[in-house]
Structure 1
Amino acid sequence: MTTHNDDLTLVGTAEFKADAHARYAALRAQGPIHRVRSADGTTSWLVVDYELGRETLAHPQLSKNPEPFAEQLRASGRHILLAGSGFGGNMLMADPPEHTRLRRLVSKAFTPAAIERLAPRVEQLAHELIDAIAPAGTADLVAAFTGPLPMAVICDLLGVPEQHRDNLQRWTRRGMGNPSTAQREALLALNTYLQELLDAKRAAHADDLLSHLIGVHDDDHGRLSTTELLGTAVILVVAGHETTVNLLGNAIAALLDHPAQAAHLRANPHDLPGAVEEFLRFDSPVELTPARFATEDLLLGGHRIRRGETVTVALTSASRAAGPAETADRLDVTRPDARHLAFGHGIHYCLGAPLARLEGAVALRVLLNRLPDLAWADPPAQRHWLPAGITRGPVTLPVRFTPAGVTALR
């Protein structure tokens, strides 16, 4: 029996995302992997199961590098981002040994000790952002809190001047959408700006991560090419903050829907690190992984994947499927073993996961403490999720709370 493209499940659209968990549950009931159609009309394989997701993310015959398949992908109508066009030339789209080398160059900035040193700055930023909204009694927390906090942290780390951060946030949000002219223009604008910033830092070296990477690029060993330097800068900006924006947004939305769980965390802030894992399981901030490319014919979940075909893992679905089915849809901030795939698995496990976890725990603690009666705005607004692309998070978080003064913490 032949399945036509029109008969395939359409994923990645606003309609799918609005009811994503129910739709993924229906797919899981039919099997762990499915042939699906994307919004641009192209087809791929979609893994929706936790165990098969882990296998897929670590599969040696599934490559992250699209370059060898560029012509085949273009012929199928798929838009891909090659080196110099957005996300190319970085460890996210590389296989060993290139991936190993690129990851090693960046990893020193993300050690546990280095991340822990950022905690006071994260707390300071959280208080400053709440100071700005506390007297009003209402706010959109995406615009006022979950968006600007991770961007400020990653820009501090990279050495991006404060006056340029709003542009970076706009470009990255558009760049994470579905393939389109607007997406490509946003990514090219981001590339252009970061290349100019790298040039400026080469002329006036500073104590930040981008300057460190320039030093690696300029040393006698030539371990980081010009294309890799720019690609690494782009992916650090995008992946270094977008995941945390949606982690915080999804967590706050879940707590607003479950006020008893929020009350528990206010009374027991020591439970917040574990609660962050539960938020990641309950609503993964990255819904779909970037495509992986079969380097040869292989079997996956009982299906034959042909060379050059693409495979994507639905992290949102796989994470919900990690535990007992009877509790999969229940938020429990005290869950003892909140397994998930929100940060991936295998050699491409998210390098910034410790930073995202730190920001999540610190920012939520400050928010819950400073705004103890935080609730959805009246009347409740219709829930809107990011309509396209691989990420999952709320577009807005309209809330109300008792107006308060600013904090004395400085």
Structure 2
Amino acid sequence: MPHAAATPRSHPEVEYDPLDPVLDEAPYEVWRAMRDRQPVYLDQRRGFWALSRYEDVAAALKDTTRFSSAHGNVLELMSPEPVDSGMMILNDPPGHTRLRQLVSRAFTLRRTAALEEDVRVVCRELLDAIDASSEVDLMQEYAAQIPSRVISRLLGVPGEDRERIRLLIDECFHLDEEHGFVNDVALTAMGELGGYLDRRLRHLAEEPGDDLLSALTQTGLTRRETVDFAMLLVMAGTETVGRLLGWAALLLDEHPDQRADLVADPSLIPRAVEEVLRFEGPSPVQARFTTEDVTLHGVTIPARSVVLLLTSSAGRDERQYGPDAGVFDLHREPRHHVSFGYGVHFCLGASLARLESRVALEELLARFPTWSVDRDGSVRAHTSTVRGWSRLLVRLDTPTPS
């Protein structure tokens, strides 16, 4: 297997391991070293290559011919042969094109926009239930709750089933110290959730309602493809939006002047969401599989190699965002980021994630304009593909009546 170009002797060797929870806490300098000195990185121990610069990551995300998604998109689950899946995210064109066209008929911007009032109601209900007189776990009591409840409504889950489905969704993300997220608890929950969705689809095919699952039954997708899309929406939408909101709460506490700007002018909140996505993308790594030799920066990545696309490293690339790329600044001139992917695999749920995040921050800031995070007491969530917090302990400051 060809090796990456030798690292200059004046620099220590760069070492990047996406499975290392210690590195995961602050990978920024390692990412910078990779961008500057080893933009085509090879890890022989775990058997992957990695691209870290914005230009290279963006180009690879768009290049479905040479960088395939059909072998998996998570390092631990990559397969030497294409996987048999109805999920769009694990298909390349033309199969991906067919699935996306069919799903897009039901998952429309209009349907997403119509959810805004539902999202706002969910946020207000959750905030009403918070006891601000003591320390609050903002992740478990607010941020992580919002997307699972919204997705249940979007999918048309009956009211009496929503709490059960929310708990199943939580169990789908159960982490095991030995096996990561591929464990009996998570796999059992995924099986139960898939079975529930399949039964709902059988019912809705006969008695459709005004919800996404009902609309999907009319698109021409097979039942399996519909269940796979619903599972993708649940898995991707729940985990990433919750982590995004956790990062937003932490970053705004670390930058109280910018938080005050949002309180004074809520119209800035969409820009804040984009800056959080750029600066601390909740899904920092996407895996691909090369279908042929690919040469970048004088280094050849062989065909049939696993390549990690470091989207969060790309979000801090000075070549794209300037010398202050490592600074959180919601007032910076917006520039394209790849935290929702790029090209044909651009996240279909991006508009929903943006809507949920905007409304969640609007409601939080309106109710509690300031807060303080207990970073030492908070707990991180770590997998090879997700960065964020499973518990975020905060003190919410109740506004003094004027």
Is the Cα–Cα contact under 8 Å of residues 155 and 213 in structure 2 kept in the other structure?
Answer: yes
Match of 1:45 among 43, 46, 49: 49
Distance in 1, matches of 2:251 and 2:166, equals 27
State the Cα deviation string for residues 61-105 of structure 1 (Å, max 9, x = none): 1111128xxxxx99x99699943xxxx311101111111111112
Q: Which residue of 1 aligns with 2:260?
A: 263
Unaligned runs of 5+ in 2: 5-12
Q: Which of these residues, 348, 352, 358, is aligned with residue 345 of structure 2? A: 348
Give 1:179 shift: 5.8
In the alignment, which residue of structure 2 is the partner of 1:220? none
Give the TM-score normalised by the residue count of structure 1.
0.84
Q: Distance in 1 between matches of 2:29 and 2:378?
A: 16
Task: Supply the distance in 1 between the matched residues of 2:349 and 2:154 (Cα, whole angstroms).
Answer: 12
C-alpha displacement of 1:11: 1.9
Distance 1:339 1:235 in 2: 24
Moved more, 112-121 or 255-264: 112-121
Corresponding residue SS for 2:42: strand
Structure 2 counterpart of 1:120, from 104, 117, 121 = 117
TM-score of the two chains, using structure 2 as the length reference: 0.85
Distance 1:236 1:329 in 2: 31
* Partner residue, 1:299: 295
- 81 and 259 in structure 1: CA distance in 2 versus 1, 3 angstrom threshold: farther
Q: Distance in 1 between matches of 2:78 and 2:230?
A: 28
Deviations 1:315-364 (A, max 9, x none): 11111116445211111111122431100111100111111111111111
Secondary structure at the counterpart of residue 389 of structure 2: coil
What is the Cα-based RMSD across aligned positions, in Å? 3.0
Give the letter for the 2:369 counterpart: P
Looking at structure 2, the residues matched to 382 and 166 of structure 1 have their Cα atoms a distance apart, in angstroms, of 25
Mapped pair 1:94 → 2:91: yes
SS at match of 1:11: coil
Residue 70 of structure 1: aligned partner: none
Do 2:106 and 2:215's aligned partners in 1 also have CA atoms closer than 8 Å? no
Given the superposition, is the C-alpha separation of residues 147 and 79 from structure 1 closer, same or farther in structure 2, using an over 3 Å criterion? farther
Aligned residues: 381
> In structure 1, what is the equivalent of residue 152 of structure 2?
155
- Partners of 1:398 and 1:81 in 2: CA distance: 42
Question: Pick from 190, 193, 196: which aligns with 1:190?
Answer: 193
The aligned amino acid for 1:54 is A
Deviation at 1:123, TM superposition (A): 1.4
**Does the 8 Å CA contact 1:141/1:397 hold for their aligned counterparts?**
yes
| Range with bigger deviation, 387-396 or 195-204 | 195-204
Q: Taking structure 1 as reference, are residues 353 and 7 closer, same or farther at Cα in structure 2, changes over 3 Å only?
A: closer
Checking the alignment, whether the CA contact within 8 Å between 2:80 and 2:304 is kept in structure 1 is no
- Report SS of the residue matched to 2:43: strand
Q: Are the counterparts in 2 of residues 297 and 307 from structure 1 also a CA contact under 8 Å?
A: yes
Counterpart Cα distance in 2 of 1:78 and 1:19: 29
The aligned amino acid for 1:397 is L
Structure 1 gap segments, 5+ residues each: 68-72, 217-222, 406-410
Runs of 4+ in 1 over 6 A off after TM superposition: none
Amino acid at match of 2:211: D
Q: Residue 91 of structure 1 contacts residue 99 of structure 1 at CA under 8 Å; is this kept in 2? A: yes
2:385 aligns with one of 357, 371, 390: 390
Residue 251 of structure 2 aligns to a residue in which SS? helix
User: Which residue in the other structure is 2:376 paired with?
Assistant: 381
Residue equivalent to 2:354: 357
Q: Distance in 1 between matches of 2:299 and 2:360?
A: 43
Q: Which moved more, 1:144-153 or 1:241-250?
A: 241-250
Q: After superposition, where does 1:14-163 map in structure 2 within 5 Å?
A: 14-36=21-43, 42-59=46-63, 60-66=65-71, 82-83=83-84, 88-160=85-157, 161-163=161-163
Instruction: Tell me the equivalent position of 2:269.
Output: 272
Does the residue aligned with 1:215 lie in a helix, a strand or coil? coil
Cα distance 1:7–1:192, how it changes in 2: closer, same or farther (>3 A)? Answer: farther
Whether the 8 Å CA contact 1:249–1:393 is kept in 2: the answer is yes
Q: Is it true that 1:209 corresponds to 2:212 in the alignment?
A: yes
Residue from 391, 399, 404 that aligns with 2:394: 399
Equivalent residue in structure 2 for 1:308, among 297, 304, 307 = 304
Aligned residues of 2:3 and 2:42 also touching (Cα < 8 A) = no
**Structure 2 SS opposite 1:312:** strand
Task: Tell which deviates more after alignment, 344-353 or 230-239.
Answer: 230-239
C-alpha deviation, 1:111, in angstroms: 3.3
Conservation of the 8 A alpha-carbon contact between 1:375 and 1:399: yes
